[in-house]
Amino acid sequence: MSQGKAVIFCAPSGAGKTTIVRELVKRLPELKFSVSATTRPPRPEEENGKDYFFLSKEEFEKKEADGELFEWQEVYRGTYYGTLKSEVERIWMAGNQVIFDIDVVGGSNLKKRLGDQALAIFVNAESVDVLRERLTKRNTETPESLEKRINKAVEEMAFEPKFDYTLINRDLQEAISEAERVVKAFLK
């Protein structure tokens, strides 16, 4: 496999990681987003190959068995997420650096696997209450799914010490600027 650098962003739901990653991809042209694979069904606005590679559970399990995944996790019961080796290879072969927006378990596994080749950033909000407020404002959750996400967020926060850098997202523009500064320093 080619060798490039990797920037891994992880966070509990509602911390703002996806927004930060999207902005970094715009600002730093050498960064290319690694599209993850998942077994969850696509949301109405999502496109296969752009937002995720949507796979059946059987397809996903075959890729895992064939060694085609860099890492994978059962993030929610019965729902798998993972990183395709072919996706990372494609980005590195084009002379770019890869940026990941993945769950904390997958991120810590990638960091273990890539070592100093990767910078792992944990994005967090100031508190669980702030996460709850942000997720509620999204208006995409039922009361049950909101509680499930909050409980998962609390579990995910325990992974923070496994990351190279913690970014507290109090103000989105400041968080984006801080992320850009840290990532640029790593890529040099």
CATH superfamily of 6-187: P-loop containing nucleotide triphosphate hydrolases (3.40.50.300)
CA gap 102, 8 in Å, rounded: 7
The token duo for 94 is: 């084009």
Residue 58, burial from CB neighbour count under 10 angstroms (0-12, 13-18, 19+) = exposed
Element (H, E) at 148: helix 143-157
pLDDT along the chain (188 residues), means of 10: 87 89 97 96 94 96 96 88 95 96 90 94 89 82 85 90 95 97 97
pTM, entire model: 0.87
Domain ranges of the chain: 6-187
For 157-174, how does the pLDDT look when each residue is reduced to its tens digit (9 = 90+)? Answer: 999 999 999 999 999 999
DSSP one-letter string for 167-185: EE-SSHHHHHHHHHHHHHH
123-136 confidence digits (pLDDT tens): 998 888 888 888 88
